[in-house]
Structure 1
Amino acid sequence: MQKAIINPWQWQDNLGYAQAIEVSHASHTLYCAGQAAMTPDGQPVAADMAEQIGLCFDNLETVLRQADYSLANVVRLNFYTTSTEQFFVAYGHVLRRLGALGCTPASTLTEVRALAFPELLIEIEATAVK
């Protein structure tokens, strides 16, 4: 599999994402449901945005590992949040998590009125390839 990052500009580089990613010669694609700050028994965790981002990534990595993928395989992340303001305050946690593995996915951020449970502030959806 080969990945090529397509960035006609540079402004997104500091935000840790790509405008597009072209994947060639991939043999498998994994579409992950949105991962939120949930316990293993399906209970939402009431925590601040930074902690919820960490739990979302923990849960995403658990799903990826179960399918024999890692964050390094992720080519697209969609973020759904109830507060873009709080999200950007905690965005350093996203950059550190992705940067540790050199993951620069195509990405979309959307503010929503609510998520599945009132305690949830963020949900992260991913597509991975190998």
Structure 2
Amino acid sequence: MDRRVINPWEWSVAYGFQQAIEVTGGRRTVYCAGQTSVDKDGHPQHEGDMTAQAHLSLDNLETVLAESGMTPANIVRLNVYTTDVDAFFGATESLGERMGRDGYVVSMTLLGVQRLAFPELLLELEATAVA
């Protein structure tokens, strides 16, 4: 797979995302369901803590990717749904450090929503990965 980052404006890089990613030569695409801050039995965790929920959501996303034989470096699209945009921005420094370390290079959309599947969830991550 070849990946080309497209950024006509560089401001988005400071926020941890690319304007677009072109993929050529990919043979497999994995469309991940939204991953949230739940344990292995599907019970919500870390009520009220955006940073902890975001990290567990990333853990769960990475588990799904690993099961498909992929890593965060394969993600080309990440949609973030949150019930609290301001709290999400408060967690971005910690998330940005982790995502940089783990090889995320993604186009991303952040959407504020009224609620998620369980009221205590603050964040849901939906990814598309290509290999």
State if a TM-score over 0.5 links the two structures.
yes
- Kindly tell me the number of residue pairs found equivalent between the two proteins: 130
Instruction: For 1:41, give the aligned amino acid.
Output: D
Instruction: For 1:60, give the aligned amino acid.
Output: L
Report the TM-score, using the length of structure 1 for normalisation.
0.97
Task: Please state how far the C-alpha of 1:104 moved relative to its aligned partner.
Answer: 1.7
Report the TM-score, using the length of structure 2 for normalisation.
0.96
- Aligned partner of residue 3 in structure 1, secondary structure: strand
Paired residue for 1:66?
67
User: Root-mean-square deviation (CA), in Å?
Assistant: 0.8
What are the Cα deviations for residues 39-83 of structure 1, in whole angstroms up to 9, with x where unaligned?
Answer: 100111124000000000000000000010000100110000001
Where is the strand percentage greater, Structure 1 or Structure 2?
A: 1
Q: What percentage of aligned pairs have identical amino acids? A: 48
Paired residue for 2:33?
33
Paired residue for 2:103?
102
Paired residue for 2:84?
83
What are the Cα deviations for residues 88-114 of structure 1, in whole angstroms up to 9, with x where unaligned?
Answer: 001112211210133220000000000
1:50 aligns with 2:51: yes
Instruction: For 1:67, give the aligned amino acid.
Output: S
- Aligned partner of residue 33 in structure 1, secondary structure: coil
Mean CA deviation greater in 100-109 or 8-17: 100-109
